Amino acid sequence: MSSSAARRYKLLRLLEPYLFLAPALIVIGLIFAFPIVRLVTLSFQRPFQGQLLFVGLTNYQTIFKDEVFLRAVRNNLTLLISVPIMVFIALILAIFLFDRIRGWQFYRTTLFLPYLLPITVVGLIFSYIFQLSGVLNDFLKVIGLERFILDWLGSTKLALPTLMFVIVWKEVGFGIVLFLARLMSVEEELFDAAKIDGANWWRLQWHITIPQLATTIEFFTIVSIITILSWVFGYVYVMTGGGPGNSTMVTELFIYLSGFRYNQMNIASAVSVILLLVTGIFIFLELRLRERSVTLEEMP
């Protein structure tokens, strides 16, 4: 075989995997890449006399002067408070389940069940519970605690914390299962050796459990942040619709209303691009953390 033929053969062997992947990559490009490019393009345009004109950063300047958008951003940031709450609750419950308390398998299933429920179902159920004439207030009235009856979803001060409670209730099950799965892969000898050395329950958790869960906690934290920033539309739309008085408005709902109710696709596109960039940063961090965890596991 001549040298030129050998080079062609070697080049063909290098390109062979990409040729097999080409059909799938083309489909993925059409499904994801084209819409993203179109989205970014629309964010720099505005309709004028039936045509789309390039207006630079005008759309971005407009949204950052919009009080409703700024309120939506503040609400998203406020909802981020639920992330450390979810991490803490999931960690505590996973530790107790790992200690194999009586009925722990039943508790594990029960705690994970809310995560499996559709957001729409959860939103509707809790809407009936927390409305002014809902189940919770009726129960408080029956047991003689009328002074605690509140308009949980109709109050501008209570609507967002109530929404946060529902999000924590549903999403914490994922963290519990993640932490429990990681703990069950830890060698029992680590805990047995620490107990022989006289470590009490608190020292076991601080020096063994939490360090072993470090990468899993980081992963769950980033996934939860992404969820709060870009995956709470269902809760808000079903339970409050962004009200009362925009007190529960979030960026996703702002995008939906701007694009489909007010027919301002350029504004909706600009907000979508910002949300995509922020979410992409956290996805990149999650991938880096996963890569680091794999590297640490492979180290001798």
pLDDT tens for 175-194 read 999 999 988 888 878 877 88
Q: ω before 118 within 30° of 0 (cis)?
A: no
Domains and CATH numbers, the chain: 17-56 (no CATH), 66-298 (1.10.3720.10)
Helix extents (H) in 80-158: 82-98, 104-116, 119-130, 135-142
Q: Is the Cβ–Cβ distance between 40 and 273 less than 8 Å?
A: yes
What gap in Å lies between CA 158 and CA 151, rounded to an integer? 8
pLDDT category of residue 206 using cuts at 50, 70 and 90: confident
pLDDT category of residue 48 using cuts at 50, 70 and 90: confident
pLDDT category of residue 240 using cuts at 50, 70 and 90: very high
Helix (H) or strand (E) holding 271: helix 265-298
More confident residue, 201 or 262: 262
More confident residue, 196 or 73: 73
What gap in Å lies between CA 225 and CA 252, rounded to an integer? 14
Q: Which residues of 91-103 are buried (b: 16+ CB within 10 A; e: fewer)?
A: bebbbebbeeeee
Which residues partner with 54 through β-bridges? Answer: 45
What's the pLDDT at 241?
A: 92
What's the pLDDT at 49?
A: 78
pLDDT category of residue 2 using cuts at 50, 70 and 90: low
Query: For residue 97, is pLDDT > 80?
Result: yes
Q: What is the rounded average pLDDT of the residues 222-234?
A: 89
pLDDT category of residue 1 using cuts at 50, 70 and 90: low
Q: What is the pTM of this model?
A: 0.86
Q: How many CA atoms lie within 13 A of 221 on its CB side?
A: 15
Q: Is the Cβ–Cβ distance between 168 and 115 less than 8 Å?
A: no
Q: Is the Cβ–Cβ distance between 204 and 191 less than 8 Å?
A: yes
More confident residue, 142 or 298: 142
pLDDT category of residue 164 using cuts at 50, 70 and 90: very high
Which residues partner with 46 through β-bridges? Answer: 53
Query: For residue 129, is pLDDT > 60?
Result: yes
